[in-house]
Chains A and B, each alone.
Chain A
């Protein structure tokens, strides 16, 4: 471990945004993760976002083969991975070309000059070398021949082939960035020791290169000084860095343990939801049964079967998969079984933009089934709260005997942030509606008078043998019924059951202002961007701008109307063409909902939000 400084005391910064970019094979994800983990352990608040190509092994040096990892660290609250990059580390010309737009003039770029060969410049479609012409004159460019320096530092290490030598140049870059931001190399060294336990030469090589990068930055004249970001004020506790999809999977693990039910996942791989399947298959030790089915439909159907048999049943997918699961979801609603469907939204329609984020499945989640088919719809808003909303989705499904759609999106599912670890003991109780013995006059559609949840009689329970199915059922006996009045009654009671969930969810609480000139409304994964923009604009003196972020969409919190009446203007911001705004307009006739929509496969940027809000209050 090295921490010694020989230059001046580091300059203190509030927050910094760093982006590491390079070829798919350059190890940028690892480099970024190491930097963010080290910073989190140092006490900073962080948010990260990976950006990698959908091609698994894109041609080397190509523009579409660029892989990136952005990390935002701060001594202040950090709620997004950020938009304007303070430091860009570009391992090749393609990385520089595709990411330069994110760097504000005046900010710093570190490049590996060894990779700016004629061939690589051509692949990146540069007519002239940007390091030699004046195209980068507005930036502070630090040119380092990283590949050669890496090779140099590994002279004499036994048992390394040329490929592994070149591949460790990312650690040279990481070492430099550690020095620049006053970080210790300790955590990464420990990581090498664990990860490559059986390969001492790899440990030796990576550690050497990391330290070489650190020392090089220390002595390099081009880097005049380093910066430091003090620990953030975070509530005390034990933390870990968690990705949204992992947090979702863990929320279900916690709900299964708390409820005493076995967890069953029926799923089919689809970007960007597959990591939930990857995570849950690991946990056979908790009795998790994860079934990779032959398609999306079989995925949800196996979950419905498991739910019928008494498990906490989950199915995971993304937009196109939700379309395929629609009919089966209607069945689960009709037979009133608990089921959680996670839709990690991506750009649509059709195959759309599989690796990009969007919020355009909201109306599909609400209405995408035949017949009158209401289900609970809730949404997570940050990587860490995916844990809470997955838990909440399971709790609502089990307690109210209904399917629940949990909406997340590619942005929060792949993003990571600190999570103050929650023990299962501090999570709320989950009561189920199981019946274990026969009572006189028992019927499968007997309902809890408060929630209207029907009782859950599990196969294997003597005396409660019964049949359910997609045909309309008699309100009392549960037998097939075509009686007109009964159908209307059952349709309404299924709707009322979902509506009554309002009595079990929290009220919506606006942030920054209870009343005022403008209410900014968001839902789901845009929380971070909207929160930081409204916070900033308030800090600039616009004190009458409130922010209300919805996690419960169907039903909406009880006090929604009351909240809306307290602001002069309302703007609904979403990454679609105005879907939540349509839902709100449907509920609250006479209230004008202005829209701010973005449909570019990208999250909201801070600048565009602030500009919009200012325009609305002027």
Chain B
């Protein structure tokens, strides 16, 4: 990918359109974090493309002063794949939500992850349908009361990370919707990563699902109820940095440093680059604390690299340089 000569600021990435999300929505944070992260990525503005589907999140491309397409419900993965395969020099970003990615677009979502095209997916998960005004989504909890589940939701939810790793996601990160600093860092890491990267943003919906990710977003509890994972570092969390995670049999267990003879050396050390996703799956499923940060980042060959290698080989061995060579080849005959 070509690097930018010009040094941009976040303003270079803001379009002239008025932003129209509800006041207090985390989407504003995500937008600003992206606009701040892009100048750090050293990419030319004209090479950046945002593709979205339908939903609150999918208004995003209109607010970015880059190339963009607000497409149709659930189909951004197909469109973004076409853009990237047609021109691998572009930095392609899919903007999607829990309904867009995992309900109507579920099929495209899993196939995109399995193929490993070098693009980025930003998944705004708010466990609710916002734009259609408050129905349960594929990530809503059982029992959750919504406009379409007045007596409580009866459909068990997807856990996006679990689904993604099951579909062979090579890069998975998760971050709270009100944490712009770490969010920007994750966007930059996602851009650097060669392959499909999925970032799940735990995004509060102030209108229809307020407080849905309290454990991660609430100042009072977030340090005790969340573990921010960092590559190569022991899994420590808590206000007093005295809690940690160990592997006990086939389960992760929360321990307190200094109790029962536990020292920092006993804790698991985070390795996002490990090929085997078993431990990453456990971290993704962890409920208390909730794991955030880059959970998995395994380098693997991309689809474009496979296609390119094949194309080079076929071109080198082919006798066809122009279509005429093909048309006039083989079984032809003359009429005089």
Residues of chain A whose beta carbon lies under 8 Å from any beta carbon of chain B: 37, 40-41, 43, 231, 234-241, 250, 253-254, 257, 262, 264, 266, 283-287, 289, 291, 293-295, 297-311, 313, 327-328, 331, 335, 420-425, 459-471, 479-480
Contact = CB atoms under 8 A, between A and B. Distances in A.
B333 A308 contact: no
A287 B71 contact: no
A310 B64 CA distance: 21
A468 B311 contact: no
Contacts of A250: 323, 326-327
Q: What 8 pairs across the A-B complex have the smallest Cβ distances? A: A305-B82, A301-B78, A469-B70, A285-B318, A302-B82, A309-B86, A298-B78, A305-B79
Contacts of A240: 327, 330-333
Contact of B71 (A254, A420, A461, A470): A470
A338 to B, nearest CB: 13
B78 A421 contact: no
A72 to B, nearest CB: 18
B72 A465 contact: no
A253 B323 contact: yes
A267 to B, nearest CB: 12
B247 interface: no
B333 A465 contact: no
A469 B333 CA distance: 50
Contacts of B139: none
Interface in B277-326: 307, 310-311, 314-315, 318, 320-324, 326
Contacts of A300: 78
Contacts of B75: 297-298, 301, 328
A421 B62 contact: no
A305 B78 CA distance: 7
Contacts of B61: 467, 469
Contacts of B323: 250, 253-254, 257, 286, 424
Given A257-B322, A294-B107, A469-B61, A327 B72 contact: yes
B75 to A, nearest CB: 5
A239 B78 contact: no
Interface stretch (B46-54, B192-200, B216-224, B253-261): B46-54
A461 B69 contact: no
Given A234-B335, A238-B334, A305 B80 contact: yes
Given A301-B75, A423-B327, A239 B332 contact: yes
Nearest to B49: A459
B331 A241 contact: yes
B90 A459 contact: yes
B1 to A, nearest CB: 11
Contacts of B275: none
A257 B321 CA distance: 11
A479 B108 CA distance: 28
A307 B81 CA distance: 12
Nearest to A191: B331
A154 B11 CA distance: 83
Contact of A331 (B71, B326, B332): B71
Contacts of B87: 309-310, 459-460
A235 B334 CA distance: 10
Given A305-B78, A422-B327, A291 B67 contact: no
B36 interface: no
B86 A424 contact: no
Contacts of B82: 264, 266, 291, 301-309, 313
By secondary structure, the A interface counts as mixed
Contact of A284 (B71, B77, B314, B328): B314
A293 B82 CA distance: 10
5 contacts: A253-B326, A257-B322, A424-B322, A459-B90, A465-B46
Contacts of B15: 467
A12 to B, nearest CB: 20
A466 B315 contact: no
B328 A238 contact: yes
A289 B336 CA distance: 38
A597 B262 CA distance: 84
B50 to A, nearest CB: 8
A319 B67 CA distance: 33
A291 B331 contact: no
Contacts of A310: 86-87
Given A294-B111, A308-B79, A460 B71 contact: no
A308 B335 contact: no
B83 interface: yes
B191 interface: no
Contacts of B274: none
B46 A309 contact: no
Contact of A479 (B17, B314, B335): B17
B89 interface: yes
Contacts of B270: none
Given A459-B67, A465-B67, A298 B111 contact: yes
A13 B241 CA distance: 97
Given A250-B323, A469-B71, 17 more contacts: A235-B335, A238-B332, A240-B333, A250-B327, A253-B323, A289-B86, A301-B79, A303-B82, A305-B86, A306-B85, A308-B79, A310-B87, A328-B72, A459-B83, A465-B46, A465-B65, A466-B67
Contacts of B64: 467
Nearest to B311: A284
A593 to B, nearest CB: 37
Contacts of A295: 107-108
B62 A467 contact: yes
Nearest to B329: A240
B72 A331 contact: yes
A583 to B, nearest CB: 27
A324 to B, nearest CB: 11
Interface in B69-118: 69-72, 75, 77-87, 89-90, 107-108, 111
A249 to B, nearest CB: 10
A408 B64 CA distance: 42
Nearest to A293: B78
Contacts of B81: 291, 293, 298, 301-302, 305
Contacts of A299: 78
Given A289-B86, A302-B78, A467-B62, A294 B108 contact: yes
B66 interface: yes
Given A421-B327, A461-B46, A467-B62, A302 B332 contact: no
A253 B107 CA distance: 31
Nearest to B6: A462
A65 to B, nearest CB: 29
B303 to A, nearest CB: 9
A471 B327 CA distance: 43
Given A303-B82, A465-B67, A286 B332 contact: no
B45 interface: yes
A305 B108 contact: no
